[in-house]
A = this chain, B = another copy of it.
Amino acid sequence: MGTQRQVYFGDVTEACQRISGFIHRTPIFTNSTIDGLTGRNIYFKAENLQKTGSFKVRGAINSVLKLKEKDRAVVGVTTHSSGNHGQALACAARSVRFPCSIVVPSYTSAVKKAAIKGYGAELTECGPLASDRRETCEKVALEKNYEIIPSSDHYDVIAGQGTIAMEFLEQVPDLDAILVSVSGGGMISGIAIAAKHIKPGIKVFAVEPEGKILEKCLTSGERLWPNPPQYLDTIAEGIKLQQVGHLTWPILLELVEKEVFTVNNEEIKVGMQFVFQRMKLVVEAASGAAVAAVLSEQFKTLDSSIKNVGVILCGGNVDIDHLPWY
């Protein structure tokens, strides 16, 4: 995997300036109970309180703004996503008055469709297969001359997500480690690029649902995942993609710890419950996964020099009528 990395800290600082007027600087929360339980100081970055309810808007708005600066031939944007990235891109496009079409499988819930439409985007429905989504999205892009903005495997998206780490280290300069839930790897790549530049000694740990086998891949340096890409059987919808992207993969290999935190559905649920009940924040299961990692036995085995630990509460887009503990 000799691919040269294409995103650097300068891209993240540029992204930061570019998007700052369009996003929230999200607050940091602490909790004395979890500090007591873990014996470390845990800092939560509340991206569930970000516009659109997830961090995804950072990468989306960075991509759209950059496109608008650079390529005057492009007249709109599209992606395929029924989840956070779909809402994020729709919101980003509206911010700069770009037309936007989001491709969603026809089985997508009415609530999710309404959320995307609420940001003024057009919806294009497609069949249930991954290939249906990709093909429909490509067709939309071709017909309308729209640019495709993927949810994570895109340099401007990665740079946008990196702004989380810039903010976090301004808010809590003493962080020794950051735990990040991983799906396609856009968020952890951006965070690792920014955090390791600002503070080379910091450790960036991946958190994954069972079955992602990321530790095995990182340790061996091989993409061991089956193809075509699979979805994992996890309650954490936001991180159900098994493979990380082809652009994010070399960044993970270079900058992320080989030790990975793997959490199961029960642990994810308990992590979510902790945040709801003790911290009074609504978070989705992908955030619960990162909290579960902090509550795990494995976390206790981390080196004692790791005192101040950042955790990304990546999103809050959970259907409150179907919480996983009911």
A48: Cβ under 8 A from any B Cβ: yes
Judging by beta carbons under 8 Å apart, are A280 and B49 in contact?
yes
**Chain B residue nearest in CB terms to A48:** B280
Stretch at the interface among A127-135, A173-181, A241-249, A318-326: A318-326
Q: Map CB proximity to B onto A270-295 as digits: 1 under 8 Å, 0 otherwise.
A: 00010011001111000000000000
Judging by beta carbons under 8 Å apart, are B281 and A280 in contact?
yes
Q: Map CB proximity to B onto A297-326 as digits: 1 under 8 Å, 0 otherwise.
A: 000000000000000000010001101011
Judging by beta carbons under 8 Å apart, are B320 and A276 in contact?
yes
Q: How far is the CA of A126 from the CA of B48 in the complex (A)?
A: 42
- B residues in contact with A27, CB < 8 Å: 27
- B residues in contact with A48, CB < 8 Å: 280
Number of A interface residues, CB 8 Å?
Answer: 18
A53: Cβ under 8 A from any B Cβ: yes
Q: How far is the CA of A323 from the CA of B48 in the complex (A)?
A: 20
Q: How far is the CA of A316 from the CA of B278 in the complex (A)?
A: 9
Known A27-B27, A326-B326; contact A320-B273, beta-carbon cutoff 8 A: yes
Which of chain A's residues 15-49 have a Cβ closer than 8 Å to chain B? 27, 29, 48-49
Judging by beta carbons under 8 Å apart, are B316 and A280 in contact?
yes
Minimum CB–CB distance from A29 to chain B (whole Å) comes to: 8
Minimum CB–CB distance from A299 to chain B (whole Å) comes to: 22
**Chain B residue nearest in CB terms to A325:** B321
Judging by beta carbons under 8 Å apart, are B280 and A53 in contact?
yes
Q: Map CB proximity to B onto A43-59 as digits: 1 under 8 Å, 0 otherwise.
A: 00000110001000000
Minimum CB–CB distance from A116 to chain B (whole Å) comes to: 15
**Chain B residue nearest in CB terms to A275:** B282
- B residues in contact with A276, CB < 8 Å: 282, 320
Judging by beta carbons under 8 Å apart, are B325 and A320 in contact?
yes
Q: How far is the CA of A323 from the CA of B282 in the complex (A)?
A: 13
**Chain B residue nearest in CB terms to A278:** B53
Judging by beta carbons under 8 Å apart, are A277 and B320 in contact?
yes
Minimum CB–CB distance from A220 to chain B (whole Å) comes to: 38
Beyond the given pairs A49-B280, A281-B281, 10 more chain A to chain B contacts, judged by CB atoms under 8 angstroms and listed by A's residue number, are: A29-B49, A48-B280, A276-B282, A276-B320, A277-B320, A281-B282, A320-B323, A320-B325, A321-B325, A326-B326
Taking Cβ atoms with an 8 Å cutoff, the residues of A that contact B are 27, 29, 48-49, 53, 273, 276-277, 280-283, 316, 320-321, 323, 325-326
A-B contact pairs, 9 of them (CB 8 A): A29-B49, A273-B320, A276-B282, A276-B320, A277-B282, A277-B320, A280-B283, A281-B282, A326-B326
